[in-house]
């Protein structure tokens, strides 16, 4: 067995409190993303629709991890298996939806291909169907259970007694995590390079574009998001990967308290990070939220946003609107 000879990792109360707080913030962040999508239909772009499905996966992930950390399982029980199955499904689904958003932006921005309901159905089939099939197989074959917290932080994942632990760790998360480390940076780099080339091609229109107050901020926001999306994902997930590798090497460093806390936060805070990126750092959504909280309405803030958008549209060159459309696609998410 992979971990049978390793002592269990003790998760201290202070570590559990930190990870539980991360779960709660992620749950609230994902809920806020769902709330804004439901509240303002006019902001339901296709990227934000994909973000909604990612938020639902992160919502379930945060809730299941919260229960697992709260219980701090020390053996395989029915609720351990249930929690492990829910977190496995939702966590794997989150990987797929994160990658689906990157693929969607690449297809629409770089390839310029039309996207209809067929692509959305494909994303649903992959992002819900594949994780569900893997999770059902893992539960039926009794691969989900107590893992001594050497590859988790109190919650249940792949059973210690599974003879083929590494295979099931890969299938139930690590394989998709490692693929995402490669796919996300590559896609976002390609998108950013394409946008930069489009901006360069429009250099003759810069005197016109300079008069548009919304153009430069939108460009800056798009560039920052394209850099931050893969970086944040990797920063959050890398600690889990490090502990996985240390476990494969039977290294005692897997029990390092700092690594344990970083692993716990990284696995549970994805919904919170998405909320910061796509709600708090998206001006249209942020202004509406602030207006709703402070004034009880948001209609007044909607008009300036529309006027800026109209000014931006008027300032775009007459023959080539690709750069503006690309920035709108990114900043709408």
- Give yes or no for a contact between 265 and 19, defined as CB atoms under 8 angstroms apart: yes
Percentages helix, strand, coil for the chain (3-state, rounded to 5) are 80, 0, 20
- Give yes or no for a contact between 81 and 149, defined as CB atoms under 8 angstroms apart: no
What does the DSSP assignment read for 6-56?
SPPPP--HHHHHHHHHHHHHHHHHHHHHHHHHHH-GGG--HHHHHHHHHHH
Q: What is the pLDDT of residue 23?
A: 97
Q: Helix 215-248 to helix 299-315 angle, to the nearest 10 degrees?
A: 100
Give the other-Cβ count within 10 Å of 63's Cβ: 19
Q: What is the pLDDT of residue 227?
A: 76
Instruction: Please state, in angstroms and rounded to a whole number, the distance separating the CA atoms of residues 327 and 287.
Output: 19
Whole-prediction pTM: 0.83
Which residues does residue 144 pair with via DSSP β-bridges, in sequence order? 158
Instruction: Please state, in angstroms and rounded to a whole number, the distance separating the CA atoms of residues 117 and 317.
Output: 31
Q: Which residues of the chain have pLDDT under 70?
A: 1-5, 199, 201-223, 226, 295-333
CA distances from 58 to 30, 63, 96, 263, 274 (A): 6, 9, 12, 16, 9
- What would the pLDDT profile of 56-77 be if each residue is shown by its tens digit? 999 999 999 999 999 988 889 9
Could you tell me whether strands 144-145 and 157-158 are parallel, antiparallel, or unpaired per DSSP bridges? Answer: antiparallel
CA distances from 86 to 43, 104, 176, 224 (A): 30, 26, 17, 33
Q: What is the pLDDT of residue 291?
A: 83
Cα torsion 7, 9, 10, 12 to 10°: value is 160
Q: Where are the domains of the chain?
A: 13-331
- What would the pLDDT profile of 248-291 be if each residue is shown by its tens digit? 998 999 999 999 999 999 999 999 999 998 888 888 888 888 88
Candidate CATH numbers 1.10.3300.10, 1.20.120.160, 1.20.1070.10, 3.40.50.1000; the one for domain 13-331 = 1.20.1070.10
CA distances from 302 to 8, 189, 234, 279, 292 (A): 55, 32, 35, 16, 12
């Amino acid at each position: 067995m992979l971990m049978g000879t390793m002592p269990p990792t003790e998760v201290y109360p202070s570590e559990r409190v930190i990870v539980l707080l991360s779960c709660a913030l992620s749950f609230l962040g994902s809920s806020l993303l769902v709330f804004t999508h439901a509240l303002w239909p006019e902001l339901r772009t296709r990227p934000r629709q994909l973000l909604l499905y990612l938020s639902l996966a992160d919502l379930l992930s945060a809730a299941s991890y919260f229960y697992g950390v709260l219980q701090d399982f020390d053996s395989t029980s029915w609720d351990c298996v249930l929690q492990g199955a829910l977190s496995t499904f939702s966590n794997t689904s989150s990987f797929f939806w994160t990658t689906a958003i990157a693929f969607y932006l690449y297809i629409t921005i770089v390839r310029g291909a039309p996207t209809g309901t067929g692509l959305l159905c494909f994303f649903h089939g992959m992002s819900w169907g594949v994780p569900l099939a893997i999770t059902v197989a893992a539960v039926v074959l009794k691969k989900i259970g107590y893992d001594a917290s050497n590859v988790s932080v109190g919650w249940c994942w792949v059973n210690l007694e599974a003879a083929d632990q590494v295979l099931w760790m890969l299938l139930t998360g690590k394989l998709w995590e490692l693929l995402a480390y490669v796919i996300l940076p590559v896609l976002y780099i390609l998108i950013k390079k394409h946008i930069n080339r489009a901006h360069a091609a429009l250099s003759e229109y810069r005197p016109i574009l300079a008069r548009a107050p919304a153009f430069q901020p939108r460009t800056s926001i798009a560039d920052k998001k394209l850099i931050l999306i893969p970086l944040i994902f990797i920063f959050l997930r890398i600690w889990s990967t490090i502990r996985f590798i240390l476990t494969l090497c039977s290294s005692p460093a897997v029990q390092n308290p700092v690594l344990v806390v970083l692993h716990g936060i990284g696995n549970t805070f994805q919904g919170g990070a998405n909320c910061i990126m796509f709600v708090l750092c998206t001006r249209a959504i942020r202004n509406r939220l602030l207006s709703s909280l402070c004034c009880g309405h948001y209609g007044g803030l909607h008009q300036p946003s529309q006027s800026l958008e109209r000014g931006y549209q008027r300032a775009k060159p007459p023959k080539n609107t690709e750069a503006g459309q690309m920035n709108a696609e990114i900043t709408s998410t």
